[in-house]
Structure 1
């Protein structure tokens, strides 16, 4: 964790600092840098950031309210473990929300609105090529939530954002090492092209496939498993 300070410049101001620390910790949770089931101390994390323990403790309490960590008396915070059943249910909910919403947006969004997402899609691909997992995750989140925002339903976007936080990509680093992350990144370009072509069937197939690939990234500490349970 000692390298987090070098990767993220934290600004001044208590509220801003608290939010920035929470953001960095979420990214570390998602990438697997903070490990499921492990307990982390706010003072120790604060030393890594080079700041006082108070904003770190406040940020961890924010993450606890989101269900990402849980307080451990006199020790710190334990990273919440998410099991396969949880992940499957998160995927099902996201599919029910995102597939019809993206298809509707493909039929209604202007070319200008969709092309505005092109730089973010390219950033996702560049981050995958450069093995920059934090940048990848941040760009991926911006792309998907910005795309869904074109539908005009703020509560829907908030719901998907919360689901993304809870369904952390534990196996992301392993997938990157295997060279399996880049194909998923390139699907963002493909999706945009299909939406711009008003190809609704292709859009549905692509977003369905993409969510399936996202689910395949949710490998726990035991490594890849047969999803059939055999």
Structure 2
């Protein structure tokens, strides 16, 4: 997928099983071309999952198209097994659907579904951040500056998958201060779903990423200052523009 977001190159790729996994009646559809990339033997499934998630965010996995495990495995330089395992995880996350003997179809998003996700995220995160703003000490907020900087650097580079990852990391770091692991898990899943683009949507511009990253910086300053009205306004605006 994108080398800037995932350093997955290996001199010792796992042999492909593309020829050993044909679908009955002929080969499974490969889907539109996806940039080839090879992955390390260590934690292959995890790295394939990360690369597929990045491809979803970048729009390289096309909504409505069908992709086969063997075909994607050949492009990654791995067997079909870790690809299928990663795709099954994406199916649990609502990104794809499994098609027996065919592969996986990338699900199509709608503007309404994204708006609903933004509303749910706002209902969860706004009250939590307001509560944290009242109680978390300044030193703890200051420790989150590297997370804010990571979003700014990814935005400046125009690296959408890297920005998506840094964006989730910042929100997760803030919410983790509430001490509720279930909250963090649910919020991260909603956040990830909100990052998948609409079909046919224009490519996200670097300027949009930079503006979004600037909101993180402003939010952190408001949290440090315990400026509750500004915290609430920034979080709601952030979701409205997501």
Deviation at 1:90, TM superposition (A): 1.1
Q: Is contact 2:94-2:107 (8 Å) kept?
A: yes
- The offset of 1:180, in angstroms, is 2.1
Question: Is the counterpart of residue 187 in structure 1 residue 186 in structure 2?
Answer: no
SS at match of 1:208: helix
Query: How big is the shift at 1:158?
Result: 0.9
User: Which consecutive residues of structure 1, in runs of 5 or more, have no partner in the other structure?
Assistant: 215-230
Q: Which moved more, 1:19-28 or 1:126-135?
A: 19-28
CA 1:126–1:173 in 2, change beyond 3 Å: closer, same or farther? farther
State the 1:75 CA deviation: 2.4
Unaligned runs of 5+ in 2: 9-38
> Partners in 2 of 1:95 and 1:7 — Cα distance?
30
Give 1:198's aligned residue: 226
Between the aligned partners of 1:124 and 1:194, the Cα distance in structure 2 is: 17
Residue pair 2:6, 2:51 contacting (<8 A) in 1 also? no
More helix by share: 1
Q: Which one has a bigger Cα radius of gyration?
A: 2
Provide the rounded CA distance (Å) in 1 between the counterparts of 2:228 and 2:112.
31
**TM-aligned CA distance change 1:67 to 1:155, over 3 Å:** same
Pairing partner for 1:95 from 122, 126, 130: 122
- TM-aligned CA deviation for residue 193 of structure 1: 0.6
1:71-123 deviations in Å (ceiling 9; x for gaps):
12332111111222221211111110001111111111122221121111111
What does residue 139 of structure 1 align with?
A: 166
Relative distance call for 1:118 and 1:32 in structure 2 (3 A) is: same
Mapped partners of 2:149, 2:143: distance in 1: 11
**Corresponding residue for 1:12?**
41
Distance 1:149 1:67, change over 3 A: same
Task: Calculate the TM-score normalised by the size of structure 1.
Answer: 0.84
Tell me the number of residue pairs that the alignment of Structure 1 and Structure 2 aligns. Answer: 210
Q: What RMSD, in angstroms, separates the aligned Cα atoms of the two structures?
A: 2.0
Rounded Cα–Cα distance in structure 2 between residues aligned with 1:185 and 1:5: 18
CA separation in 1, counterparts of 2:141 and 2:117?
Answer: 26
Q: Distance in 2 between matches of 1:147 and 1:134?
A: 20
Q: TM-score, normalised by structure 2?
A: 0.80
Work out the CA distance in 2 between the residues paired with 1:68 and 1:33: 13
Contact 1:128 1:136 in 2 (8 A): yes
Could you tell me how far 1:6 is from its partner in structure 2?
9.4
Structure 2 partner of 1:222? none
